[in-house]
Amino acid sequence: MLRTVEKGISALMRSTLLSGTLALLAVVGGATPAQAQHITSPYRYIDQTQALTVQASYIATSRGMLDLGPESGMAYGLGYTIRLGGPFNIDLGASFFPTRRAVMDTIPADSATLTDNPLASVTKIGEDKLGIALLTAALRFDVTGPRTFHGLMPYVIFGGGLARQVYETGIADVHLISARRYHFGGLFAGQIGGGTEWFLTHRLTARLDVRDMFWRINIPTAFRRSPIPAKEWVQNLHASLGLSWRF
């Protein structure tokens, strides 16, 4: 009787072991095709719809035919981006641009006696420091939509804003009459360009963009002789590098 029970237990254990082995093979065999079918996509969807940016820019300015405009230099600022929907975003920026400008005068001093070549009759008499505030608003179009491609999100951007002089030393041109004195003032600034964001982490990105920023130079009345216009539009290369935090 005892021998019969032992044989039954042994047969049951062999049956259980065989069933477990077959089940394990079935699981492994079923998982292998699923793993083989998995494809890693180069795209990753971005959940965050807003971003704050700290950036430094180099502005290569065009000073106009009389060299009245501000000189090239560094600008520093903040940016804010919010997604409107799909690939469209609003991109806002505020920067401070400390720079210098040449102070020009006419030779001879009496503008009524300028020669037939007005450009040759304008000379630099000094330099003044000035600070310019740049306030911009632009529409940004993400080329890949609200997602990255291998960690990159390229975009194009166009918009406008205001370039306003906030201070000037006014030392070199203090003795000039108003008809010869140039003032940068508050000017409309248009911009068009593009760039890319590189996602360093899920939220932190490095941002590089290059824009063509254009504004107007108002020529003082004492210099206005053909071919010198009363107003001159100039283009300025604006290249910026920043860090953005997405939320």
What residues contact 49, with CB distance under 8 A and at least 6 apart?
82, 83
Q: Are residues 108 and 1 in the same domain?
A: no
Q: Are residues 108 and 201 in the same domain?
A: yes
Per-residue pLDDT reduced to its tens digit, 37-88: 667 889 999 999 999 999 999 999 999 999 999 999 999 999 999 999 999 9
Q: Are residues 9 and 117 in the same domain?
A: no
DSSP 186-217: EEE-EEEEEEEEEESSSSEEEEEEEEEEEEEE
Q: Is the pTM of this model over 0.85?
A: no
The domain tally of the chain equals: 2
Per-residue pLDDT reduced to its tens digit, 23-44: 545 544 554 454 456 678 899 9
Could you give phi then psi for residue 4, rounded to 5 degrees?
-65, -40
Q: Are residues 7 and 90 in the same domain?
A: no
Per-residue pLDDT reduced to its tens digit, 129-147: 999 999 999 999 999 999 9
Q: Are residues 1 and 91 in the same domain?
A: no
Q: Are residues 35 and 67 in the same domain?
A: no
Q: Are residues 54 and 35 in the same domain?
A: no
Query: Any idea what the CATH number is for the domain that residue 160 is in?
Result: 2.40.160.20
Q: Which domain holds residue 72?
A: 46-246
